[in-house]
A and B are shown apart, each in its own frame.
Chain A
């Protein structure tokens, strides 16, 4: 029976059974109908030693290809400082439960408070919760907030400029909730404000969700949105990339009521799609409808500054079926991840990250156009990712790049491909990629 995760000796088991007053471990299941007890052998592998487990995963990892990442679309390959894994692997953070006992959870509560301070700073909002699962579910929750905040409204407007996976999740949640979703088309690569105004005129719109930077990488000009949406008593929701918010106009400045998005861009490794971290922030008028955990500052009986989960009357464990969200956790450790990242980076580091991404992306953009394999799709301002029209079948370009271990030219819609550059990419990298594209398609100088 000896196994490293089970401390029981045979003698321990015998003594414990004796105290309980039963003969065997099987007797502890005497209340279970015997015909549901599973007696066959499990079709699972034999137990492995740690050494063998390590070898097994090395083997599996070798079946993956590490690629140079020139792809964005909701997951960004930004640099992650060495300090972060050391902090987040501290077992006091890693192996802690939800901070329901504040006296022994001040570490968790304090970093969540710092996270809230930093996210509100980036978004220009008054309040944020302690985080959501990912950007797509945060967007769905933002839509539910709009529905809960504006009674008697039946639908939301969703920009087609949002990432497709975000639109899909919003539609799933809305569909089961009986919330109508009206898609707003993009015109020339940006959300059609005219279409938004036309739909708002019907008077039944609870909220409008638009991207700050859209699926084509274009920075949207949201002039006029807040006034138009507020005139119809709806909520303006902006889906944002928090890394970019260090240098582009904030949703707060645009007059947004709710801001959501994925904070993976704040240094979290790609890790095949997760764990990432959604964020959800709002103005103070909407805090009572904000789902999820929120940490607040207070004092203990001795007058010491202390932190605690607060405003819990909003939450599912109190409200049960009256809750507007069922979330009862957060991505806490990932909140620590991005908090440490933002602490290390500071305003200057985030600016440098954006500068390097911007400069590299624009260089790649111009060099790709020179190959003749692409043409401009939209001539609009972009930050680190952009969209080009492929002049040869897009799949052939993606395959050619993949053969050389480069992830790029991922098709966003027929004939349109995405590229993204972060501070990790150098001029030499880009020149090499462009050269291999030229040689693959015989587009010499």
Chain B
């Protein structure tokens, strides 16, 4: 990676252009628009040549780390390989040209992709039906909670406005619940990291809309009391929400529907190999049990009697509309491509190989790093900092030092249950050699921490930029080019 210091605005020169447009000699012109509605000053966008643009963004890309650059042991993010055929299919002109308001008869191929992916996800998760409209995991979560609220409202059970969230949950869980108008009730984890069923029992009453669970949880541990929890929550009239952030280890092995979950969301950009794109676009499909199908958001794809597909655009008993059109269709194309490549044979191996990698790293490093809960993990596990914490070297230092060695950092300081959390998730697409390389460097870092703690504290040393002054960034925000010049 090499440092490059320009913004595209720095390259701008009056009179340069990077576009090529057809000449249209229309008689009507913009000066016909009444003056009060017109913009008189031109926006200060850059004026650059095509090569300026290409070279600038190529230079920027060279300061970025991606899955194609190296290993990403990023817990809870499932940074698996993003197959190239996915990209080819997503940019297929036969799909890219479709306007979202085209009549259903003219988009049968697109609707088939939508409904076949939905059906495949139902099969993999054991849910009755899916909507693919949510744009991201958090959006899926919100949609799922809206479905739960709509279910209670439709039954006239209006006092169910509280939802149970474990203390180990992703921060998005309580935020989504709050945005959906639900009050959060926290349930504690036991020493072994699992939801405390005894702590849960007294919380269950007729004001509970449901419980949000991540299984395996954010410590990478399978909530083995799940069937008892499901029975208890259902008994009190609540529903079970499954946060699919950690679905990867269960693919091919366990179906959330079979554990008693009523609603779930998946992250196609985690478990189903679509690229993260530096933060999006993702996709957060939501699956439901049979009794909740009518509450799925619209628009919905439905099959007509003659086998053709149609789009239903009415609210009916649904929770409402949650997206302008029908989700991030380009991401849907990628995920379906992945499932077709896997097929029923390989889908069985996704979870087991992901779990194999995580346990392999955990067992290889548990002498050098503190392992607070020593049991078989699923796709990820959490260390609580270095085994030897006398050196003053923190989890942040370990993460930054890894960057020097060509690895991305793990997820750090999450979950909040431990002070020095290091959360590692390798995924099934990484080879034993890659994992061995990572293990070796982690051991080396543990040794460095003891021998040369100062150089650890100033890491990274070899990246395009080094540690940043984040305090000044927040105190005196510079948020656009005009704030600089």
Contact = CB atoms under 8 A, between A and B. Distances in A.
Interface string B320-331: 111111111111
Contact of B224 (A31, A54, A107): A31
A90 B59 CA distance: 11
B138 A329 contact: yes
Nearest to A287: B477
Contacts of A75: 99-101, 325
A7 B171 CA distance: 34
A286 interface: no
Contacts of A312: 474
Contact of A356 (B21, B61, B323): B21
Nearest to A116: B480
Interface centre among B32, B112, B178, B347 (most CB of A within 10 A): B178
Interface string B459-478: 01001111111101110011
A372 interface: no
Contacts of A202: none
Nearest to B439: A19
Interface in B214-258: 221-222, 224, 226-227, 252-255, 258
Interface in A392-445: 398, 402, 407, 410, 423, 426-427
B3 interface: yes
Given A103-B403, A332-B277, A247 B39 contact: yes
Contact of A97 (B278, B325, B403): B278
A217 B37 CA distance: 13
Interface stretch (A152-160, A191-199, A302-310): A302-310
Contacts of B7: 110, 113-114, 117
Contact of A134 (B81, B135, B177, B359): B135
Contacts of A223: 36
Given A89-B87, A294-B479, A297-B484, A3 B103 contact: no
Interface stretch (B42-50, B199-207, B382-390): B42-50
Which of B33, B65, B326, B348 gathers most chain A CB within 10 Å?
B65
Contacts of A93: 61, 64, 66, 277-278
A350 to B, nearest CB: 7
Interface string B33-71: 110111100111111101001101110111111111100
A118 B42 CA distance: 12
Nearest to A302: B466
B28 A362 contact: yes
Contacts of B353: 6, 8, 13, 25
Contacts of A203: none
Interface in A286-306: 287, 293-302, 304-306
Given A47-B345, A349-B17, A306 B85 contact: no
Contact of B280 (A71, A270, A300, A333): A333
Nearest to A38: B255
B408 A304 contact: no
Contacts of B77: 97
A347 B343 contact: no
B403 A101 contact: yes
A19 to B, nearest CB: 5
B364 A19 contact: yes
B276 A269 contact: no
Contact of B429 (A5, A26, A262, A305): A5
Nearest to B459: A103
Contacts of B479: 113, 116, 120, 127-128, 287, 294-297, 310
Nearest to A119: B480
Contact of B480 (A117, A175, A343): A117
B349 A316 contact: no
Interface string A337-365: 00110111111111111111011101100
Nearest to B325: A273
Contacts of B154: none
Contacts of B18: 81, 83, 343-346, 349
B17 A108 contact: no
A48 B81 CA distance: 18
B96 interface: yes
Nearest to B61: A92
A107 B62 contact: yes
Given A134-B135, A426-B24, A60 B477 contact: no
A42 B320 contact: no
A106 B36 contact: no
A276 B331 CA distance: 11
B278 A48 contact: no
A319 interface: yes
Contacts of A110: 7, 60, 63
Nearest to B267: A329
B91 A310 contact: no
Nearest to B273: A5
Interface string A82-99: 010111011111111111
B97 interface: yes
A209 to B, nearest CB: 15
* Interface bin, chain B: 35 or more
Nearest to A253: B39
Contacts of A317: 170-172, 175
Interface in B376-430: 376, 399-400, 403, 408-409, 428-430
Interface in A34-56: 35-38, 41-48, 50, 53-54, 56
A326 B179 contact: yes
A74 interface: yes
A328 to B, nearest CB: 5
Contact of A133 (B83, B323, B484): B323
A316 B39 contact: no
B340 interface: yes
Contacts of A53: 85, 89, 337, 340-341
Contact of B43 (A61, A121, A176): A121
B76 to A, nearest CB: 11
B138 A327 contact: yes
Contact of A92 (B62, B102, B170, B258): B62
Given A95-B66, A127-B479, A316-B172, A340 B42 contact: no
Interface string A113-138: 11011101110000110110111110
Given A273-B325, A324-B179, A104 B463 contact: yes
Q: Which has the most chain A C-beta neighbours within 10 Å: B28, B349, B363?
A: B28
Contacts of A270: 96-100
B34 A381 contact: yes
A163 B323 CA distance: 12
Given A8-B431, A31-B222, A273 B100 contact: yes
A121 B97 CA distance: 29
Nearest to A395: B103
B22 A106 contact: no
A28 B345 CA distance: 20
Contact of B8 (A73, A105, A114, A277): A114
A65 interface: yes
A121 B39 CA distance: 12
B112 A12 contact: no
A409 B354 CA distance: 51
A323 B323 contact: no
A227 interface: no
A28 B276 contact: no
Contact of B63 (A54, A106, A350): A106
B312 interface: no
B323 A113 contact: no
23 contacts: A6-B353, A28-B356, A29-B253, A33-B226, A37-B254, A57-B333, A57-B337, A83-B54, A86-B54, A89-B87, A103-B463, A122-B43, A246-B39, A272-B95, A296-B474, A301-B466, A320-B171, A321-B175, A324-B179, A328-B172, A344-B53, A351-B30, A360-B24
The 5 closest A-B pairs by CB, nearest first: A359-B26, A61-B94, A47-B343, A273-B325, A172-B320
Given A95-B69, A135-B324, A327-B138, 11 more contacts: A12-B431, A38-B255, A62-B109, A92-B66, A95-B275, A106-B64, A273-B329, A343-B56, A354-B30, A359-B24, A363-B28
